[in-house]
Amino acid sequence: MTTSSLTRATLAKDLRLEWRSKDAINSMLFFALLVVVIFSFSFNPTAEESRQIAGGLVWVAFLFAAVVALNQTWARELRNQVLDAYRVSPAPANSLFLAKAFGNFIFVAVLEALMTPLFIVFYNLRALGPTWQLPVVAALGTWALVVNGTFFAAMSIRTRSREIMLPLLLFPISIPAVLAMVEATSAILSGEYSARPWIALLATYDVVFTTGCLLLFETVLDAE
Amino acid sequence: MTTSSLTRATLAKDLRLEWRSKDAINSMLFFALLVVVIFSFSFNPTAEESRQIAGGLVWVAFLFAAVVALNQTWARELRNQVLDAYRVSPAPANSLFLAKAFGNFIFVAVLEALMTPLFIVFYNLRALGPTWQLPVVAALGTWALVVNGTFFAAMSIRTRSREIMLPLLLFPISIPAVLAMVEATSAILSGEYSARPWIALLATYDVVFTTGCLLLFETVLDAE
Amino acid sequence: MPPASHTESAANVAPIVVVTDLIKQFGRFAALRGVSASFDAGRLYAILGDNGAGKTTLLRSLAGLTRPNRGTVSMLGTSDLRSVCHQVGYMAHPSLLYDEMSGMENLRYFARLYSIEDNERCASVIRAVALDPELARPVGQYSQGMRQRMSLARALLNDPKILLLDEPFSNVDVRSAREMVGLLAKMRDAGKTIFVVTHQAALLEGAADEFVWMEAGKIVSRTSSLQPVEAR
Amino acid sequence: MPPASHTESAANVAPIVVVTDLIKQFGRFAALRGVSASFDAGRLYAILGDNGAGKTTLLRSLAGLTRPNRGTVSMLGTSDLRSVCHQVGYMAHPSLLYDEMSGMENLRYFARLYSIEDNERCASVIRAVALDPELARPVGQYSQGMRQRMSLARALLNDPKILLLDEPFSNVDVRSAREMVGLLAKMRDAGKTIFVVTHQAALLEGAADEFVWMEAGKIVSRTSSLQPVEAR
Amino acid sequence: MKRAFPILAVLTAVLLSYALYQALEVAPTEATMGDVQRIFYYHVPSAWTAFLLFLTNFVASVVYLIRRNTKADIVALVSAEVGVVFCTVVLVTGPIWARPVWGIWWTWDLRLTLTLVLWLIYVSYLMLRRFSSSGQTPLMAAVLAVFGALDVPLVYFSIWYFRTQHPSPVIGGGGSLDPRMGRVLLINWAAFLCFAVLVCWSRYRVERLQREVEETQALEGLLESRGAR
Ligand code: HEM
Ligand SMILES: Nc1ncnc2c1ncn2[C@@H]1O[C@H](COP(=O)(O)OP(=O)(O)OP(=O)(O)O)[C@@H](O)[C@H]1O
Ligand SMILES: Nc1ncnc2c1ncn2[C@@H]1O[C@H](COP(=O)(O)OP(=O)(O)OP(=O)(O)O)[C@@H](O)[C@H]1O
Ligand SMILES: [Mg+2]
Ligand SMILES: [Mg+2]
C-alpha cells in the first residue's frame, strides 16, 4: 500500500476518534466562541488600539488552538503502547507523521474558520489590502506551526532527559514563521505595504521544514 | 494525619515528579514565549497605547498557558489508575485537591515571574498607579484561574475528548475573574482609576469558588 | 457456609462482608445482575469465572470504587465503606503506582495517605513480596512481574483486615506465585479475610477456603474444593 | 536441538531465527547478557523464566522494537528485520489497541497497515480468538481477558510466519486459555514458528516443542519436556 | 396527572394564539420605534422564562446533590435544555431589534452580556452532559450547575462595574410602560410559560422512559449477554 493511502487510513482513524459524532464540531464551535468572547473582554474591541493589533490577536488565538491540538497528538498512540503496533508493521513512518500533521492542520484550520467570522464581527475588521491573500497566509502559517509542532511533540515523547531542550529548540526555529505570519496579516489588514515577501518567506519555511521533518521522522520514531 | 500535612506530601511528590520530567512547565513556557514574541512583532508599542492593552495581553497569555498546564494536572494520576489508590485510602479528597491547586499555582506563578520581565522589556511598561497592588492582583487572579481550573480538570478527565473539555467548562465560569484581572491591571498600569473595586471582586471570587471547590471536590473525585 | 454457632470470637459470629442484590449497569450492559452473598472473617475466598463474568466489577464495588446502581455492600458491619477503608487493601489489574518513582518512593507516598510514618514498614512489605527495597529503578522500568509484586506490596501497606486482590498472580513466575500463595495463607491464618480473583485456581487449591464461581454477573456456586466444578 | 539433517523442506534446513551474543543494557543494568540461540521453523517454543529474567526484552529484540547494544538478530535469513516485518506477528503485555474503538474497527485499521483490504480476514481472526466481531463496545470497556484475546487477534492479523507472544494467557480464563493453546498448536502444525513467553508453562505441556529457560539475561537450558527442570 | 397533559396542551395552544393576536393587533404601536417594537412581546417573556428555567435547574441540581434522586436529575436536564432554547430566542430577537433601533447588532451592555454569559454557562452544562462518559454524568452536571449559579451574581457585579467605567452608547427601554402594553406582555408571558412547562413535561416523560428501557435492557441482557462467546 502506498504512503498516501496509509496516511489517509490513519487520518481517517484519527478523525473518526475525534469526531465520533457532531459533538466535536459543536464543541469546537463553542470553543471558538469562548476564545473570542474572552478576547473581547480582555481587549475592548471598540478601542482603536485593539484593532491595530488584531493581526497579532488572531494569531495568538490560533496558536492557542494549535497548542491544544498538538498536546494530544501522540497521547492516543502512547496509551497501551499502540505505537509499537505501528512500528512492527511494514507501514512507513512518514505516513504516520503526515497523518498526524494533517490531522492537526484540519483541527486548527476548522477552528480558524470558525473563529475568523467571530473576530471580524467583534473587532469590526476589514482588510484594506488584497483579501484573497489572507487564506493563503492562514494556510501556510498554520502548516508551519503544525508541522514543526507535530515533529517536536513526537520527539518529546521519546526523549526523557533532554526534554528541557525542547522549548528552547522549537522556539528559535519558529520565530521566522511567526514573524512572517504576523507581518503578512498586518500587511493585508492595513494595506500599507505588500505581504508578498512575507508569504514567500512562509512558503520557503514550510518547504524546508516539511522536508526536514519527513527525512528525520523515521529516526525519531524508531528511537526507543 | 492532617489534611495540611497530606497536602504537603502530595505537593512534594508532584513537584519532584514534575522536576524530573518537566512536562508541564516546558509546554507552558514555550507557549508563553511565543505569545510575547507574536505580540511584540505585531504591535509597535508606543508607551501610551501599550499600557492600555498590556493588562489584557498579559492575562490572556497567562490564561492560555494555565490551561495547557491544567490539562496535564491529572494525567499522571490517570496512568496506571493511581487515582484509585488514592480513592481507596482514608486520605481526605480535599488534601489532594489543594495539593493539585497549589502545584498549579506554583507552576503558573513561576511562569508569570519569568514572563513579566519580558513583557516589561518588550512593552516598556511602567505602572503609573500604585505598583504594590500588582503582585496582589497577580496572586488573586492566578488563584482564581487555578482553583477552578484544577476542579474542572478533575471533572473533564471523566469525559471524552478531555483536553478540549477543560476550556469549555472553565472559560464561561471565569469570565468575571478575567474581567476583574484585566481591568485591575489596566487600572494600575494607567493610574487613571482605582483598582480597588476590582481587587475586591477578585477576592470575593476566590473565596466563593475556593469554598465551592472544597465542598464539592469529594463528590467529583468519587464519581467513577 | 459455616453455621453461625461458631463462637470463637465476636468478630467471627457475624459475616464480615455482606452484599445484597448488587446490580451494576454500564449503559445498556449490566456487569452485575443481582449478586447476594455473605463472607466470613478469617477466610480466603477465590473468586473464579470466565472473562467478563463481573469479577473485577464485584471487587471494585467492595472497594467502594464503583457505586452499584442497586443493592448494598456492607463491610465490617457498616455500609459506609469510606469509614472502614483503612482496614481494606485493594490491588487492581493496573499497577496503581507512579511509573516515574522507585518502588520505595511510591510506597513512602502511599504510606502517608494511611498516616504511616514508618519507613521500615514500607521496606518490610517490599521484602515480603521478594523485591529489594533499595532498587532505585523507577517502577516504569520494572518487568511486568516485578510491577505486579510491587502493586501487591502497596495493597499490604496498611496491614488491612480485608484484602481484595484482582489477579495477583498473572505475570508472576510460578515459584513466586507459590510464595505469594503461602504469604496469603499465612495472612489468612493471622485472621485476615482475603478475596482473590484469579484464573489460576490451581495455585489456590489447598490454600483457599472457598471457591466462588461467577457467571454473567451472578454468583452461580460456592464450593469448598476445586474438583467438582472444574470438571464441568 | 534437532540435528540439521532434518530434510523435510528447504525452509526447514536453516534455522529461521538466529540470535548471536545479544546484549541489551538499560543504563547500568543489563537485561540481556549474551544470548545466543537458533530456532527452527515450524516449532512452538515456550520461553520461561523468573520475573525480570529478560524474556520480554528478548522478544522485543526479535520484533525489532529494541535495538540491542551488541550482537545480532537474524530472522528468515536476514538481519534487516524491517524487511521481514510483514511476516512477523507481535503481541505484548499492553494491548496495543485503541481503547476508544471497537475490536473490529481496531483490526480494520491495523489491517491497512499490512495492506490487507479484506474485512472478512478481520472478522475471522476475531472469531478465531472466540470473540464476537459484532461487539460494538469500545475495547477500553472490555474485561481484561477479552482485551487480551483481541490483542492476540491483532497479532494474527497478517497471518505471520513467526509469532512472538508475550504472556498471551495471563488474565484469560482457563477454558479459553486451553482453546488458545489448541489454536497455537494448530498454527504450528500449519508450519508457523511460535514463541510464547508465559508463566503458565503447564498449559503448554504437550503443545510446545521446546521449553527455553532464561535466567538473569541468559538462556540457561532448552528442554523438550517440562518435568526435569520444573522439579528444581 | 395523565389527564392534565392534554388539558395543558390545549390551554397552551389557545393562550399562544390569543397572545399572538394581542401582540400583533391589540397592542398599540410604539411611537418612536414603530412596529419593530412588537418583538418586545417575544423578547421579554422569553428572557423571563429562561431565567425561571435556569432557576429550576439550580434548585433541581441542589436537590440531586443532596438526595441523589433521579427525578431531580431529569428535571435539571430538561430545564437546562429548554432554558437554553429560550435564552437563544432572547439572543436572536435582541440583535434583530437592536439593529434598526440602535444601529448596531451588539454592545457590551450589562443585560446583554449577562444574558450571553448565562447562555455560555448553560451550553457548557449541556456539553458536559453530552461528553461525560461515566455513569456519574448527573453528579458532574449537578456540580457544574451549582458553580454556574455561584457565578451569576459575580458576573452581574463585574459587568456592572465595567459598564459604569465604559458607558455603552444607547440603552433603550427605561421610562414607564403603557399599561396596555403591560397587559399584552403578561398574556404573552403566561403563554410562554405554559409552553415551556408543556415542553419540559414531555421531555421529562421521554427521558424517564428512555432510562427505564435502558435499565431493563441491561438487566435482561437483551442486546447480548456476554462479550466472549
Ligand atoms: C442585543 C441583544 C439583547 C439582549 C441579549 C437582551 C436581553 C434582555 C433581557 C435578558 C431582558 C430581560 C431582563 C429584565 O427584564 O431585566 C431584556 C428586557 C428588555 N429588553 Fe432586551 N436585549 C437585547 C436587545 C434589546 C433591544 C435592542 C431593546 C430595545 C431597544 C431591548 C429592550 C428591552 C426591554 C424594553 C426590556 C424590558 C425592560 C425591563 O423589563 O426592564 N432589548 N432584554
Ligand atoms: N466501564 C465499563 N463500561 C462498559 N462495560 C464495562 C465497563 N467495565 C466493565 N464492563 C463490562 O462488564 C463486564 C464485566 O467486566 P469485568 O471487568 O468485571 O469482568 P471480569 O470478570 O473481571 O473479567 P476478566 O477475567 O476478563 O478480567 C464485561 O463484559 C465488560 O465488558
Ligand atoms: N526500559 C527499561 N529500563 C531499565 N530497565 C529495564 C527496562 N526494561 C526492562 N528493564 C529491566 O530489565 C530486566 C528484564 O526485564 P524484562 O521485562 O525483559 O523481564 P521479563 O523476563 O519479561 O519479566 P516478567 O516475567 O516479569 O515480565 C528487569 O530487571 C527490568 O527491570
Ligand atoms: Mg477482571
Ligand atoms: Mg515480561
- pLDDT tens-digit profile of E15-39? 888 888 887 777 777 767 777 778 8
Residue D46: per-residue pLDDT: 94
**Which residue in chain B has the smallest CA separation from E143?**
B216
Residue D108 Cα to ligand 3 midpoint, Å, equals: 32
- Measure the CA–CA gap between B41 and B54, rounded to whole angstroms: 14
Q: Ligand 3 pocket, D55 CB below 6 A?
A: yes
Residue A202 has pLDDT above 90, yes or no: yes
Which whole-number Å values give the CA distances from A213 to A97, A149, A221, D223, in the listed order? 9, 10, 11, 49
Report the residue among D22, D23, D25, D26 best suited for mutation to probe ligand 3: largest number of ligand atoms under 8 A from its CB.
D26
Residue D230 Cα to ligand 4 midpoint, Å, equals: 29
Report the residue among D33, D56, D212 best suited for mutation to probe ligand 3: largest number of ligand atoms under 8 A from its CB.
D56
Residue E174 has pLDDT above 50, yes or no: no
Residue E75: closest CA among E67, E63, E86 = E63
**Cβ contact (<8 Å) for B71 and A67?**
no
Q: Ligand 3 pocket, D227 CB below 6 A?
A: no
Nearest to A9 among D90, D94, D109 (CB): D109
CA torsion, ordered A34, A36, A37, A41, to nearest 10 deg:
140
- Measure the CA–CA gap between A188 and E119, rounded to whole angstroms: 35
Residue A143: per-residue pLDDT: 93
Q: pLDDT of A110-150, one tens digit each?
A: 888 988 888 887 777 777 778 888 899 999 999 998 898 88
- CA C101 from chain centre, in angstroms, equals 24
**Cβ contact (<8 Å) for D167 and C174?**
no
- Helix D119-128 vs helix D103-113: angle between axes, to the nearest 10 degrees? 120
Q: pLDDT of D46-98, one tens digit each?
A: 999 988 899 999 999 999 998 899 999 999 988 888 889 889 999 998 899 99
One-letter amino acid identity for D218?
A: K
Atom 37 in ligand 1: residue holding the nearest Cα: E44
**Cβ contact (<8 Å) for B183 and E151?**
no
Residue D202: per-residue pLDDT: 87
Residue D96: closest CA among C145, C94, A78 = A78
Q: Where are the alpha helices (DSSP H) in chain C?
A: 10-13, 55-63, 103-113, 119-128, 144-156, 174-189, 201-204, 227-230
**Cβ contact (<8 Å) for A30 and E131?**
no
Would you call A161 an interface residue with chain D, using a CB distance cutoff of 8 Å? Answer: no
Residue A96 has pLDDT above 50, yes or no: yes
Q: Ligand 3 pocket, D87 CB below 6 A?
A: no
Q: Which residues of E touch B163 (CB under 8 A)?
A: none
Q: Which residues of D touch E224 (CB under 8 A)?
A: 132, 135
Would you call E207 an interface residue with chain B, using a CB distance cutoff of 8 Å? Answer: no
Residue A154 has pLDDT above 70, yes or no: yes
Q: pLDDT of C109-157, one tens digit each?
A: 999 999 888 889 999 999 988 888 888 888 988 888 889 999 999 999 9
Q: Which of A191-195, B36-40, B127-131, D180-184 has the lowest mean pLDDT?
A: B36-40
- Measure the CA–CA gap between B15 and B27, rounded to whole angstroms: 16
**Cβ contact (<8 Å) for B90 and C86?**
yes
Supply the ipTM of this predicted assembly.
0.85
Contacts of E115 by beta carbon, 8 Å cutoff, 6+ apart: E47, E87, E90, E91, E94
- Measure the CA–CA gap between D11 and D161, rounded to whole angstroms: 11
Using DSSP, state whether E107 is helix, strand or coil: coil
Q: What are phi and psi of C90, to 5 degrees?
A: -135, 130
Residue D140 Cα to ligand 2 midpoint, Å, equals: 10
Q: pLDDT of D200-223, one tens digit each?
A: 888 898 899 999 999 999 999 999
In order of their start, the domains of chain C are: 6-96+159-225 (3.40.50.300)
Contacts of A109 by beta carbon, 8 Å cutoff, 6+ apart: A138, A139, A142
Residue C8 has pLDDT above 80, yes or no: no
Would you call E149 an interface residue with chain B, using a CB distance cutoff of 8 Å? Answer: no
Q: Determine the distance in angstroms separating the CA of A5 from the nearest CA of chain D, rounded to an integer.
A: 9
Q: pLDDT of E50-59, one tens digit each?
A: 999 999 999 9
Residue A21: per-residue pLDDT: 59
- Give the ligand 2 atom nearest the CA of E226: 29
Q: Ligand 2 pocket, C200 CB below 6 A?
A: no
Q: Where are the alpha helices (DSSP H) in chain D?
A: 10-13, 55-63, 103-113, 119-128, 144-156, 174-189, 201-204, 227-230
Interface probe, candidates C24, C109, C137, chain B, greatest B C-beta count within 10 A: C109
- Give the ligand 2 atom nearest the CA of C54: 18
Q: Which residues of D touch A80 (CB under 8 A)?
A: 94-99
**Which residue in chain C has the smallest CA separation from E70?**
C69
The count of CB pairs under 8 A between chains C and D is: 81
Using DSSP, state whether C88 is helix, strand or coil: strand
Q: pLDDT of A160-188, one tens digit each?
A: 444 445 555 666 777 888 888 888 888 88
Atom 12 in ligand 2: residue holding the nearest Cα: C31
Strand order in the sheet with C29-39: C29-39, C17-26, C70-75
Residues of chain E numbered 103-132 and touching chain A (CB < 8 Å): 105-106, 108, 116, 120, 123-124, 127, 130-131
Q: What is the DSSP string of C102-150?
A: BHHHHHHHHHHHTT---HHHHHHHHHHTT--TT--SBGGGS-HHHHHHH
- Measure the CA–CA gap between C109 and C116, rounded to whole angstroms: 10
Residue E167: per-residue pLDDT: 41
Domain ranges of chain B: 3-222
Q: Determine the distance in angstroms separating the CA of A73 from the nearest CA of chain B, rounded to an integer.
A: 11
Q: What are phi and psi of D214, to 5 degrees?
A: -115, 150
**Which residue in chain E has the smallest CA separation from D139?**
E227
Nearest to A90 among D85, D95, D99 (CB): D85
Q: pLDDT of E206-221, one tens digit each?
A: 999 998 888 888 777 6
Residue C143 Cα to ligand 3 midpoint, Å, equals: 4
Q: Determine the distance in angstroms separating the CA of E217 from the nearest CA of chain C, rounded to an integer.
A: 6
Residue D8: per-residue pLDDT: 45
How high is the mean pLDDT of chain A? 81
Using DSSP, state whether D149 is helix, strand or coil: helix
Q: pLDDT of C21-55, one tens digit each?
A: 999 988 778 899 999 999 999 999 999 998 889 99
Confidence band, pLDDT 50/70/90 cuts, at residue C228? low
Residue B160: closest CA among A21, D81, A196 = A21
- CA D202 from chain centre, in angstroms, equals 17
How high is the mean pLDDT of chain C? 87
Q: Locate cell 477576592: which residue?
A: B203
Q: Where are the alpha helices (DSSP H) in chain E?
A: 4-21, 40-67, 70-102, 110-131, 137-165, 179-220
Touching A: which chains, 3+ CB pairs < 8 A? B, D, E
Instruction: Read off the pLDDT of each residue in A87-109 and give the average, rounded to a whole number.
Output: 90
Q: Which of B137-141, E66-70, E175-179 has the lowest mean pLDDT?
A: E175-179
Nearest to A88 among D90, D109, D115 (CB): D90
Q: Locate cell 538473569: which residue?
A: D216
Confidence band, pLDDT 50/70/90 cuts, at residue A211? very high
Residues of chain B with confidence (pLDDT) below 70: 1, 21-24, 26-28, 42-51, 161-162
Residue D231 has pLDDT above 90, yes or no: no
Q: Ligand 3 pocket, D56 CB below 6 A?
A: yes
- Measure the CA–CA gap between B70 and C185, rounded to whole angstroms: 45
Residue B66: per-residue pLDDT: 84
Residue C4: per-residue pLDDT: 41
Residue C229 has pLDDT above 90, yes or no: no
Which whole-number Å values give the CA distances from C63 to B142, C83, C162, D26, D116, in the listed order? 37, 12, 10, 37, 45
Residue E99: per-residue pLDDT: 81
Residue A125: per-residue pLDDT: 73
Instruction: Read off the pLDDT of each residue in E144-172 and give the average, rounded to a whole number.
Output: 72
Which whole-number Å values give the CA distances from D4 to B80, D14, D161, D211, D223, in the listed order? 47, 8, 20, 19, 17
Q: What are phi and psi of D169, to 5 degrees?
A: -95, -10
- Measure the CA–CA gap between A45 and A40, rounded to whole angstroms: 6
Instruction: Read off the pLDDT of each residue in C99-115 and give the average, rounded to a whole number.
Output: 91
Would you call E229 an interface residue with chain C, using a CB distance cutoff of 8 Å? Answer: no
